[in-house]
A and B are shown apart, each in its own frame.
Chain A
Amino acid sequence: MSGPVISSRVLRALSAVTALCSIGAILMAASAGQADAPTQQQAQQPQVPKFRRLTEAQYRATIADIFGPDIKVSGRFEPDMRVGGLLAAGTSAVSLTPAGAEQYEQIARGIAEQVVDAKHRDRLVGCAPSASDPQGAACAADFFKRVGLRIYRRPLTDGEVKLAVAQTLAAAATVKDFHGGLVIMLTAMLSDLPFLFQTDREVADPSAPGGRTIDAWSRASKLSYFLWNSTPDEQLLQAAADGSLMTQAGLIRQVDRLMALPRFETGVRSFFDDFLQLEGMMSLSKDGIIYPAFRSSAAPAAREQTLRTITTLLVEENGDYRDLFTTRRVAMNRQLSPLYRIPYGPRDWSMITLPDQDPRVGLLTQISFLALHSHEGRSSPTLRGKALREVLMCEHVPTPPANVNFTIVQDTSNPAFRTTRERLKAHLDDEECASCHKLTDPMGLTLDSFDGAGQFRPTENGVPIDTTGMLDKVPFTDSAGLGKALHDNPKVTQCVAQSAWRYAAGRALLPSEEPLMASLHEDFAHAGFRIRPLFRRIVIDPQFFAVRAPAASRIAGKPSSGRKG
C-alpha cells in the first residue's frame, strides 16, 4: 500500500468526534423536514422504523458502486439478524455494538487508504493541494461534496462540508500529509451512522395534504436498496435532488428505469437469497465419508444454481413464480453435475432441462434446498418439511421440546427401522412429537428419495423409499406431485408476496398491513404471479414510503400509477 497509514489512536480520536457530529446531523435532518406536526389521528398510528442497517452484501455493493470494484472490502461485519425468516426484516431491529463499530471502522480505514493511495487517488480524489490551494481546503471540499453525496445518500449540508474540511486539514496537520487527512475523514464518514444505516427522513407528503411521507433522498435509497441491493446511482440521486421522486409520475419513471436495467436481477437475486435463507449454504458442510461427492465447492455452487435458476426464469424470462416448483429446467455447472449424476458439457453455467424420467422436479429437488435442510450425515424429512412450511409458506412450526429422545431417528443402521419413514413412525409414538411432525413429515418424506447431500437414492438400506405424501389434504406420490401441490397452493404465492413486502420495508409485517397484503397478492395473481409486477406494485404503493402504519380502517386499494405530484 503506497497510501498514508494512519495510527489507530489518531484515527479513533478524530473519527469519534465526527461520528458524534454526524449522529447529531441525522437527528437534525430527521426533524428538519417536518413541515407540519402530525395530526392527532396520525400520532396514534404506530411509526415504522426509520433506520435499517446495511447488510454486508449491501455494504460491499455500495462501496463498489461509489469507488469501483477494485477497492477491496476486508474485515468481519456485525452479524445480521433474521426476523420472520428474513435478514432484511432484521435490519431495522439491529443496532451497532461497540465491537461492531470498531470492526466497521477497521473496514472503513482499509477502504479509505485504498481510495487515496497512489494507484487510485487521481481517479477517485481528483485533486491535491496546489499553489492556489496550498492546504488543500478547496480540494477537500470538492472531494467531500462529491463523495459525501454518495456515502450519505444525500447532499452534505454546508456545515457538514465545512466540518469535514476542517477535520481533514487538522488531521493532515497532525500526520503531516494531506492525503493522510483525507483518509482519516473518509474513514470517519464510512464508519458513521448515515452511511451504515438507511435512514427514512420524514416530511410532509406533497401529494397528500396533511399526510406524512419520507423525503426524496430517503426514497432514492429505499428504492435502490430494494430493487438493486445497492446505493442509488446518479440519475436516481438527481431525481431526488430535483424533487421529481416526490411525485408519482417521477417515481414511476425511476422505478421503471431501475427495473429495466440488468441490475434489477441483482435485486431479485438478493431477495431470493434472503427469502430462501441461502446464505446458510456458505457454512454448510457434509460428512466427506458419507457424501464424498459433496465437496467444499458444492455448497456455494448449489446456492448459485438456485439463484441463477430463479433469475433466469423469473427475471430474464418473466416466468410464473409457481412454475419454480414444477420446472425441469435448472442452472448447471460441472461442480454440481456429479451430485446430479448427469453429464454436462459446457465449461460454464448454463440452463439445462432434465430428462422426463429424472426424479428431480422444481426448486425443492435442487441441492440447495435438500442439503441445507438436512443433517451433516443424513437426510431429514422433518427439517425439509419445516423449511417448506416456514420458508415457502410463511407458516410457523413450533420448536421441539428440549427433552426429545432422537435416538431412533438418528440410528440409520438399525435393522428394525431401515428407512427414515420407519424410524420417524417409531419416533411418533409420542403424541406430543406427533402433533408437530404431522405438519412437516408428510411433505418431507416425499423428498427422502434424496439423501442428505441432495443426491437421488431410490432405496435406503436396500428398501425402496416410499415417497407418498400429502400437503394440506392434497395427496401425491413423488416430488413432482409435491411440486404440483405447492404450485397450486395459494399460501405459497401469498408467502412470497408478503415476504417481498417485508424485505422491501426492512421490517416485520404490521397487523394493520394485512389488507395491503391481500391487495398485493390479488395483484400478484392478476399479473400471472410474475416477480416484476410484484416488485413494481410494492414500490409504487404509498405505504412503501409511509412513516406510519396504515390506519386500521384503511381499505387497501391499488396505487394510482398516474397520480400527479
Chain B
Amino acid sequence: MKDMISHGLDRRVAAGLLAVGGMMAVGASAPQPQSFSFALTNIYVAAYEDEKACRALSLSSSDLFLKSLPPAEREKYGAPDKVQDLHKLMGQRLGFKMVPTGKVSGPNGSMAQLSDAEQDALRQKYSIPKGKGIVAFLGTRFAYDSCTNPDDFPFMQKGNEEYRGPIAYGIDLDRLANKDDYVSLDQKPGVDNQLIRAVGCTFSTRDFGTPKVADEVITSMSSPTLVELSGVDHPANDDDVTVRLYASASPLELSGAGKPLAWASLDVDPDRRFMAQVKGKIRNGELLTEPFDLRLRLREQIIDSYREVRQARIQAKIKPGEAIEGGIYGYHTLASIEDNYHQSTQVGANLTRMSCPALIKAVRRYADAFPDPKTGRNTAISSALRFKGVPVFLIKPQQVAQGVQQ
C-alpha cells in the first residue's frame, strides 16, 4: 500500500488545518496563519417572515391556465384533486413537450451534452417549433414549455404579486437611499433587494425561503459550493484574510443524524468558472469581504445551472470548527436567474406552483443594475442570498497528486 504524506496534502497546509481543532481544543494561540474551509449546504433567496408583505400568493402557471378555460372546464379541473389532470390538459393544449434525448446524465449529476444537430433532430422528430426548447433534466430530456420559452406564453406573465413588506434581508449595496429600499432585520435602512420584491410572494419563497426552514434543507448536494478562508491569524479578528470559492467535485455526504457531514474531504472542481477569490476581514467573528464577481454552481436533481452575482459581498458569522452562516449580497444576473427557470421546466413550475413567464417578467422589470450598453436595460437585480455551511477539508487536484510514497 502506498503511503501518503499527511493525507495527500502539503504538510504545512495539513498541519494548519489540524491546528484549528487543536487550537480550539486547548485555547493556545496559533503560531502561523490558519485556513478554514466550509461546504455550503444551501444557498437560497432569503425571505423575511411577514404575513402582511403579500396581498396574496402569486399565481402559478396552472392557475393562469385554469382561469383561461371556459367555465365548464374550469369547473371540471378546478378541484384540488384534479391538479394532475389540469397539468396534463395544459400540456396538451399549449403544446408542451418533454421528450427523451437518449442520453444519460453526465458524471456527478452534470448535464449531458447534445450538439445543435442532435437538438434540431429532436425538434423535427417531436414537432417542436424551430429554435425552441432546451436540453433539460441533465440532458436526458428535451423540453418545450412555459419555462423553457416563457415569451411564447404571454398570458402566463400575469398574476405575480409584489413583495410589499418593509423588511428584507440584504445590505445597502449602492450607498444610496432610494424609495424602494428595504430596512434590514436589524433596522438598518437602504437595503437593496429587488429580487425579493419580484419573487417574494411565490409559494416556494414564502414556504421554503425562511431560514428556519431553508437552513434545514440541503441543495446542490452533488456539487456544493466550497468556501475557503486562508491567511487567518486570528479567527475572531483579522483585517487581512483571503476568501476563495469553488464548486465541489464531490457530493456532500450525510451524517448518521441525516445532516450534512462535517469534516468530510471534498474535491475542488478544477472548473475555473466556479472559482473566485477576494480579500476580506474578520471582525468579532464576522467575515466581511470586498465586492467581487462570483459564479456558484447550482446542481440539484434535474438542474445543472449556476448563480451569478456581480459586486457580491459576503458577510458571515464564522465559528471555526463548527459552522459558517451568513449571506451573499450583490447583483444577481438575469441571465443566471432565467437559466434556473428554463431548466426547471414546466415540471418544476408545477411542483413549486410558480409561473416562469410571470417571474421572469417581474425580475426583468425590477432589475436595477448593470444596464446593457446597447439596450439600456438592466441585466442584474439586487439580491440577498443566505447560506449555512459545515466545516470540511478541501482537496485540490494538485494536492491529491502530491501524495508520495514514504
Q: Which residues of A contact B (CB under 8 A)?
A: 286, 288-289, 291-296, 298, 308, 312, 316, 329, 331-332, 334, 337-339, 341-346, 349-355, 357-358, 456-459, 464
Contacts and interface: CB of A to CB of B under 8 A. Distances in A.
A98 B265 CA distance: 50
B256 A295 contact: yes
B262 interface: yes
Given A345-B8, A345-B9, A346-B8, A291 B256 contact: yes
Contacts of A293: 255-256, 261-263
B381 interface: no
B3 A351 contact: yes
A308 B1 contact: yes
B7 A343 contact: yes
A337 B393 contact: yes
Given A288-B257, A293-B256, A337-B7, A342 B14 contact: yes
B256 A341 contact: no
B69 interface: no
B17 A343 contact: yes
Nearest to A311: B1
B29 interface: no
B282 interface: no
A290 to B, nearest CB: 9
Nearest to B14: A343
A450 to B, nearest CB: 13
A314 to B, nearest CB: 13
Given A334-B265, A337-B265, A350 B255 contact: no
Contacts of A316: 1
Nearest to B259: A292
Contact of A346 (B4, B14, B15, B393): B4
A272 to B, nearest CB: 16
Interface of B: 1-9, 11, 14-15, 17-19, 21-22, 25-26, 253-259, 261-265, 393-395, 399-400, 402-403, 406
Contacts of A286: 256
B15 A292 contact: no
Give the top 9 A-B pairs by smallest Cβ distance, nearest first: A345-B8, A343-B393, A288-B256, A292-B255, A458-B25, A338-B263, A292-B257, A345-B400, A351-B3
Nearest to A288: B256
A343 B395 contact: yes
Contact of A352 (B4, B15, B262, B264): B4
A334 B1 contact: no
Contact of A350 (B22, B253, B402, B403): B403
Contact of A355 (B2, B15, B257, B402): B15
A351 B394 contact: no
B3 A329 contact: yes
A289 B265 contact: no
Contact of A351 (B1, B25, B402): B1
Contacts of B2: 350-351
A345 B17 CA distance: 14
B227 to A, nearest CB: 15
Given A329-B3, A350-B3, A352-B6, A345 B265 contact: yes
Contact of B6 (A292, A346, A353): A353
A483 to B, nearest CB: 19
Given A288-B256, A295-B255, A345-B395, A352 B7 contact: yes
B15 A312 contact: no
18 contacts: A295-B255, A296-B256, A316-B1, A331-B1, A338-B264, A343-B7, A343-B14, A344-B393, A345-B395, A345-B400, A346-B403, A350-B1, A350-B2, A353-B3, A353-B5, A355-B11, A357-B22, A358-B18
Given A337-B265, A337-B393, 5 more contacts: A288-B256, A346-B403, A350-B2, A352-B8, A357-B22
Contacts of B257: 288-289, 292
Nearest to A343: B393
A464 B9 CA distance: 30
Contacts of A353: 3, 5-6, 406
Contacts of B21: 341, 456
Contacts of B261: 292-293, 295, 338
Contacts of B4: 332, 345-346, 350-352
Contacts of A344: 7-8, 265, 393, 395
